[in-house]
Structure 1
Amino acid sequence: MSEKNYRLVRTLLLIFLGLWTVLTLFPIYFKAITAFKSPAETNSTIPSFWPKEWHPENFVSVFAESSNFQSLVDSFVIASGNTLLSLFLGTLAGYAFARFPKQAGGENLAFWILSNRMFPPVAVLIPMFFLFDATPWGTDSRISLIILYLVFNMPLATWLMMVFFRDAPRELEEAAYLDGWTPLQAFMRITLPLVLPGMISVSMLCWIFAWNEYLFANLFVGTDVKTYTIVIPTFTHGSQTLWNLQMAFSLMAMLPPVALFILLRRYMVRGLSLGVVKG
């Protein structure tokens, strides 16, 4: 490629990346400035791209009711509980499919498990409600959503962990067997550390899904337990939607996943690229 063509391609690429960055960050920017506006300014027919008056007290107003903060706690407990359970079951199932495919049911069963992640959630919404309503803990509880989200998170965790375990060298486990280690010792001390970045990536994907889920939470809980996703639409005053409070609350709800990603970004990159390069 000539120097002229190289510069042209580089310029076009920079323009594309610049436009992509603007389109990606603008909704976050507009949400951030809306969180500091007054209700009158947010409901104005002509949108403003910078607050006329700053109202940082909006972030205090969202917690005027203690249940709003409790909704963040409920969401965190549900997302964390489901992630731990999904990762535990998905890791065991993925290892079985990777190391003992015939005994575990083969590729057909593995694909069937993954297909459960693909069907539309609304298709099982009503049956699941009646099913959990018949359980001792009922529908309006944390444990209901923790178990329910397994329907979508465990297939994803199983499939991804199966791929990660397949990329992990089996020879290291066989060498451990020759040294007198049991299969459980080899699994815990050799195989799991090898796929740790992948496990962290899977846990982040599962956690974010459970943290942001709205459809099932809106139907299942709302009295004793509330997730933050069903609290955001409740910031209203009569027929007026308080967009400034909604944006302030949603910004605060963004902090946990952003903080987790920043802390675990090194493992996320390693986990998502695990097994890409072989040699």
Structure 2
Amino acid sequence: MNKRIVGAMMTALIVIVVIVWSFPFFELISASFKSPADFFSSSFLPEHPTTENFAEIFSDPKTGVMLRNSLIIVTITTIVSVLLGTLSGYALARLGLRPWVIGAVIFVLLFFRFYPRIAMVIPFFVMMRDWGLFDTPFAVVLGHLSITIPFATWLMLIAFRGLPNEIDEAGAIDGATLPQRFLHLTLPMVGSSMATAGVLTAVLSWNEFLIAQSLTRSNNPVLSTGVASFITDAGVKYGSMAALSLIICLPIVIFALLMQRHYVAGMTMGAVKG
């Protein structure tokens, strides 16, 4: 088959996939401008466009509190996860541990990354209550770190193992200490992987709902739990819910786009070792 035809078919397929995956986001944008009456209509576009939904969001003083708490949680979670994940990944990849030890650590990391989050809600609730951290952003940070640190460590372990051992050996021959080899030789080579870990950690922490909902109340809400506050006994405020959801999407989308080049490089790093 002609290569041009195959290329055209692949392009068309990609366009279709992108449109299908983007449709919910476009629906969210449309819903954020709909009036309450428009939600009883089958029309995709709002019949009576309004900005009252956004006005309600920005006029509510709790919106600022939610944004502040979310930024605090995401910033601390991302920095701590990338820092500890990088150090742990380097230690596992370069300190000459026995294979069964590394295998056991990887198993534990993946277990804590993928086991059901609902299983950790009650233990974390009890711990945060006893420690006096319940209904604070730091309780959510600790909950998120239990998920993001294992993931960041696993990702950085793959990145460090993708680097030739000869790099560290050459540094050792030249008299470089272990910290010097880490900081000046290997760390600059995994910058893209660190960016990838940072992006994925930030997205996970920003969007996470279950832990935040379980460890906070009305005094210190976050953006993800704020969406659920529009479900009341009097009904569901779909327009306000859509408006806040759109506001939540924009910062993390912009952040991901700014980090796109590093993210793609980090995802492909280690695919070919040679």
State the TM-score, normalized to the length of structure 2: 0.92
Moved more, 54-63 or 118-127: 54-63
Moved more, 259-268 or 12-21: 12-21
The yes-or-no answer on 1:39 pairing with 2:45 is no
Aligned pairs for 1:126-205 within 5 A? 126-135=122-131, 137-205=132-200
SS in 1 for 2:58: coil
SS in 1 for 2:59: coil
Q: 1:101 to 1:108 in 2, by over 3 A?
A: farther
- 8 Å Cα contact 1:74/1:226 also seen in 2: yes
Alpha-carbon offset, residue 8 of structure 1: 6.0
Report the equivalent of 1:121. 117
Aligned pairs for 1:95-114 within 5 A? 95-102=90-97, 105-114=101-110
Unaligned runs of 5+ in 2: none
Equivalent position to 2:201, from 174, 184, 206: 206
Alpha-carbon offset, residue 47 of structure 1: 1.9
Q: Aligned residues: percent identity?
A: 30
Aligned pairs for 1:6-17 within 5 A? 9-10=6-7, 12-17=9-14
State the TM-score, normalized to the length of structure 1: 0.91
Q: 1:101 to 1:206 in 2, by over 3 A?
A: farther
Q: 1:238 to 1:152 in 2, by over 3 A?
A: closer
- 8 Å Cα contact 2:163/2:273 also seen in 1: no
The yes-or-no answer on 1:261 pairing with 2:242 is no
The yes-or-no answer on 1:20 pairing with 2:17 is yes
Unaligned runs of 5+ in 1: none
Alpha-carbon offset, residue 224 of structure 1: 2.8
SS in 1 for 2:270: coil
Q: Distance in 2 between matches of 1:132 and 1:170?
A: 43
Q: Distance in 2 between matches of 1:180 and 1:123?
A: 49
Q: Distance in 2 between matches of 1:7 and 1:168?
A: 38
Deviating beyond 6 angstroms after TM superposition, the runs of 4 or more aligned structure 1 residues are none
Equivalent position to 1:90, from 85, 94, 97: 85
CA RMSD of aligned residues (A): 2.0
| One-letter amino acid of the counterpart of residue 141, structure 1 | T
| One-letter amino acid of the counterpart of residue 16, structure 2 | L
Alpha-carbon offset, residue 237 of structure 1: 7.1
Alpha-carbon offset, residue 248 of structure 1: 1.1
- 8 Å Cα contact 1:198/1:271 also seen in 2: yes
Q: 1:264 to 1:11 in 2, by over 3 A?
A: closer
Alpha-carbon offset, residue 219 of structure 1: 1.2
- 8 Å Cα contact 1:173/1:190 also seen in 2: yes
| One-letter amino acid of the counterpart of residue 23, structure 1 | V
SS in 2 for 1:195: helix
Alpha-carbon offset, residue 9 of structure 1: 4.5
Aligned pairs for 1:233-272 within 5 A? 233-235=228-230, 239-272=234-267
Alpha-carbon offset, residue 191 of structure 1: 1.0
SS in 2 for 1:190: helix
- 8 Å Cα contact 1:164/1:198 also seen in 2: yes
Q: Distance in 2 between matches of 1:103 and 1:70?
A: 48
